[in-house]
Amino acid sequence: MARITLEDLEGLGEEPEDGGDSEDDQEEQGRLFAHWEVVASTHRVSLPRDMAGPIAQMARHSQAREPVPYVSLSQHGKCEEAAYEERQYPAGKWACVTKGEPLYEQSISMSFMKLMRYICKENSVGCYLGMTVPVLNEIHLTKDETELEREVVTAYYLPAEFQQNPPVPMDPEIHITERAPLRVITRVFYGMTTEETILREISLFWELLGSTDTVLRETYIVASYENPSIPQRRNEIWFICRAE
């Protein structure tokens, strides 16, 4: 969420609460949509016109983002470039979409467009649910660990008020999943998230950690926090700890 995700919200201006019917409102909505079209084109994805409403609504609420809860277990390294952190995430309910497009960027973009519609209105309560960060993209490496598998799971954490009774998605491709507690080792990186950059970050993280069998080697998570128009936007690579 790196891509058409929540990351493309900050700094795009705010929509008024009246629903955007004035000429100025329509002009602003058009500007937002045009901006997202440019982002979409860089990921070889077409942006449907029906995304204009969700884009405007999420821009209006861009400053109110609920963090996914976790507990920090340990931190390592004295400078941010080399630092990594071990965290424990509790069990929780997530809205998930799985895609297997030719490019990683295409899969996450198409998945998050579906999640945006769900977050904004296409749900059983018919209202804006609220944005949480980060959005997670679960990836798998091929057996030789040189490429990403095509299938990517993009996951949005349900805000606290909906954890006990999640709104039902109208889109059958969105599944509400109860994910088990998760212990991860995380490292921040900045910039674009493509297959090339992700593979590089995984390799660098392994060099930093050294030889260990306490984390999985075939499954990783890319956590997305910020606007993709920011050249050095924040992401994290998560190594998943094996169950004890």
Query: Do 69 and 56 reside in the same domain of the chain?
Result: no
Question: Of residues 154 and 22, which shows the higher confidence score?
Answer: 154
The mean predicted confidence, pLDDT, of the chain is: 84
Query: Do 96 and 136 reside in the same domain of the chain?
Result: yes
Question: Are 179 and 94 a contacting pair, CB within 8 Å?
Answer: yes
Query: Do 152 and 180 reside in the same domain of the chain?
Result: yes
Query: Do 102 and 56 reside in the same domain of the chain?
Result: no
pTM above 0.95, yes or no: no
Distance CA 187, CA 215 (A): 14
Query: Do 93 and 168 reside in the same domain of the chain?
Result: yes
64 has which bridge partners? none
pLDDT higher than 70, residue 108: yes
CB neighbour list of residue 237: distance below 8 Å, 6 or more residues apart = 186, 187, 189, 198, 201, 202, 205, 220, 221, 222, 223
Query: Do 127 and 23 reside in the same domain of the chain?
Result: no
Indicate the range of 68-77, 115-124, 219-228 predicted with least confidence: 219-228
Exposure string for 151-161, b = 16+ CB within 10 A, e = fewer: ebbbbbbbbee
| Band of residue 9 on the pLDDT scale cut at 50, 70, 90 | very low
Residue 80: give its domain's CATH number.
3.20.80.10
For residue 225, is it within any domain?
yes
- Average pLDDT for 213-219: 93
pLDDT digits (tens, 9 = 90+) for 132-167: 999 999 999 998 889 999 999 999 999 999 999 999
Query: Do 49 and 111 reside in the same domain of the chain?
Result: no
pLDDT higher than 70, residue 5: no
Query: Do 69 and 141 reside in the same domain of the chain?
Result: yes
Query: Do 52 and 94 reside in the same domain of the chain?
Result: no
Q: Domain total for the chain?
A: 2
pLDDT digits (tens, 9 = 90+) for 35-57: 666 767 777 787 778 888 787 78
For residue 1, is it within any domain?
no
Q: What is the pLDDT of residue 230?
A: 58
Integer angstrom CA distances of residue 153 from 6, 60, 99, 105: 16, 27, 7, 12
- What is the extent of the structural domain holding 181? 65-241
Q: What is the pLDDT of residue 14?
A: 38
Query: Do 160 and 228 reside in the same domain of the chain?
Result: yes
pLDDT higher than 90, residue 168: yes
